[in-house]
């Protein structure tokens, strides 16, 4: 008898932050596997375009507005999604944005907004779907973190602090859900090419990149694609029962470089032997002590 009942083949998915980037790519990848997806974001028109592509490819997609800073919006979104597709089996929670600024220059309200979106928003989404998962004794909560959580980057103070909180939240959730059948997992992207942060002005980006280089955060120019991260999300959410991928970090592979040619080995047998005795210094004979001298 298997240790766990296998997951259903059809698993309704909710994607928070589905209008672009990792959320968009994850929604399309999971829909391609036959799972009905509900796309939630503030930019509903973007979600509708993604849903049209999913439907054209034979998948099932539902769109509803979502603002993770509002409990009422989260409740309405999840209710509508489950009415359309059925009880949530997989939550992919990655809604977010980023604002580049030095901590002392960032308005406290803007800092609070980052915490609301990234950290409190995670709790709102999880809190709304977890009761049904506990009742069914199965489910996957996939939380999108960032490699800024363990190692903050300059001028991302609010974002990095929020993501550090997200990782603590995810680890706490994993401990509390152990033995319930629900897997809480963190997916930690490295530098990824998405629309997030792309609207920053040149006068902001210039000093930002200078600081990143100074602190060693720009070793090479390669970036991950959103589809790369979606592959990680799919791997986590579709792992067989009995397997829990608790933390998955993905980094862009560095460009290939030329390795320096190895030095030819030295043929020691061809060298003449060294007369070590001839190189030893000759020790002068000790002078006899004078009469009356204290040695």
**pLDDT of 266 over the 50 cut:** yes
Q: What is the pLDDT of residues 1-20, one digit of tens each?
A: 568 889 999 999 999 999 99
Express as a percent the part of the chain with pLDDT over 90: 68
In the block, residue with structure tokens 């991950």 = 224
* CA–CA gap between residue 61 and residue 51 (Å, rounded): 5
Q: What is the pLDDT of residues 18-47, one digit of tens each?
A: 999 999 999 999 999 999 999 999 999 999
Of the residues 62, 100, 111, 159, only one is catalytic, namely: 159
Contact by Cβ (8 Å): 94, 163: no
Averaged pLDDT for residues 246-257: 93
* CA–CA gap between residue 229 and residue 245 (Å, rounded): 14
**pLDDT of 285 over the 60 cut:** no
> Is position 195 within any domain?
yes
Residue 34, sorted as left (phi over 0), alpha (psi -120 to 50) or beta, turns out to be: left
CA dihedral 210, 212, 214, 216 (to 10 degrees): -150
202 three-class SS: helix
Contact by Cβ (8 Å): 95, 23: yes
> Is position 160 within any domain?
yes
The residue count of the chain comes to 295
Which of 75-84, 108-117, 191-200, 238-247 bottoms out in mean pLDDT, i.e. has the lowest?
191-200
Which of 17-21, 214-218, 254-258 bottoms out in mean pLDDT, i.e. has the lowest?
214-218
* pLDDT score at 273: 61
**pLDDT of 235 over the 60 cut:** yes
**pLDDT of 135 over the 80 cut:** yes
For residue 77, the domain's CATH number is: 3.40.50.720
CA-wise closest residue to 224 among 250, 258, 185: 250
Which has more pLDDT, 256 or 282? 256
* CA–CA gap between residue 6 and residue 255 (Å, rounded): 40
The token pair at 212 is 């990143």
* pLDDT score at 210: 66
Contact by Cβ (8 Å): 31, 57: yes
> Does the annotation count 222 as an active-site position?
no
Q: Which helix (H) or strand (E) holds 288?
A: none
> Is position 226 within any domain?
yes
Contact by Cβ (8 Å): 12, 81: yes
> Is position 103 within any domain?
yes
* CA–CA gap between residue 193 and residue 7 (Å, rounded): 32
> Is position 5 within any domain?
no
Contact by Cβ (8 Å): 148, 169: no
Per the confidence metrics, is the pTM higher than 0.85? no
Which has more pLDDT, 273 or 207? 207
* CA–CA gap between residue 247 and residue 245 (Å, rounded): 6
**pLDDT of 288 over the 60 cut:** no
CA-wise closest residue to 236 among 159, 139, 106, 122: 139
> Is position 80 within any domain?
yes
- Total number of domains in the chain: 1
DSSP secondary structure code for residue 65 in this structure: E
DSSP string, 117-161: IIIIHHHHHHHHHHHHHHHHT-EEEEEE--TTTTSPPTTBHHHHH
Which of 13-27, 60-74, 250-264, 267-281 bottoms out in mean pLDDT, i.e. has the lowest?
267-281
CA-wise closest residue to 81 among 8, 13, 183, 9: 13
Q: Which helix (H) or strand (E) holds 4?
A: none
Domain extent, residue 28, equals 13-245
């Amino acid at each position: 008898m298997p240790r766990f009942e296998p997951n259903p083949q059809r698993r309704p998915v909710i994607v928070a932050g589905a209008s672009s980037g990792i959320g968009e790519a994850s929604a399309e990848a999971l829909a391609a596997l036959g799972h009905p997806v509900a796309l939630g974001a503030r930019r509903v028109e973007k979600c509708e375009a993604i849903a049209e592509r999913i439907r054209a490819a034979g998948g099932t997609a539902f769109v509803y507005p979502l603002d993770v800073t509002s409990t009422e919006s989260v409740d309405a979104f999840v209710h509508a999604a489950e009415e359309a597709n059925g009880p949530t089996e997989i939550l992919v929670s990655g809604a977010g944005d980023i604002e580049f600024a030095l901590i002392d220059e960032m308005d406290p309200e803007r800092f609070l907004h980052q915490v609301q979106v990234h950290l409190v928003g995670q709790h709102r989404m999880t809190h709304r779907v977890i009761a049904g998962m506990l009742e069914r004794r199965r489910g996957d909560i996939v939380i999108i973190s960032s490699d800024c959580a363990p190692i903050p980057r300059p001028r991302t103070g609010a974002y990095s602090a929020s993501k550090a909180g997200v990782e603590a939240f995810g680890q706490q959730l994993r401990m509390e859900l152990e033995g319930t059948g629900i897997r809480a997992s963190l997916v930690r992207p490295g530098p990824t090419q998405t629309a997030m942060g792309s609207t920053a002005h040149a006068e902001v980006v210039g000093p930002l990149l200078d600081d990143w280089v100074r602190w060693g955060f720009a070793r090479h120019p390669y970036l991950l694609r959103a589809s790369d991260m979606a592959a990680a999300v799919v791997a986590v959410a579709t792992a067989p029962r009995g397997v829990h991928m608790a933390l998955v970090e993905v980094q862009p592979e560095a460009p290939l470089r030329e390795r320096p040619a190895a030095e030819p080995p030295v043929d020691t047998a061809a060298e003449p032997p060294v007369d070590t005795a001839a190189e030893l210094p000759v020790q002068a004979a000790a002078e006899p002590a004078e009469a009356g001298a204290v040695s």
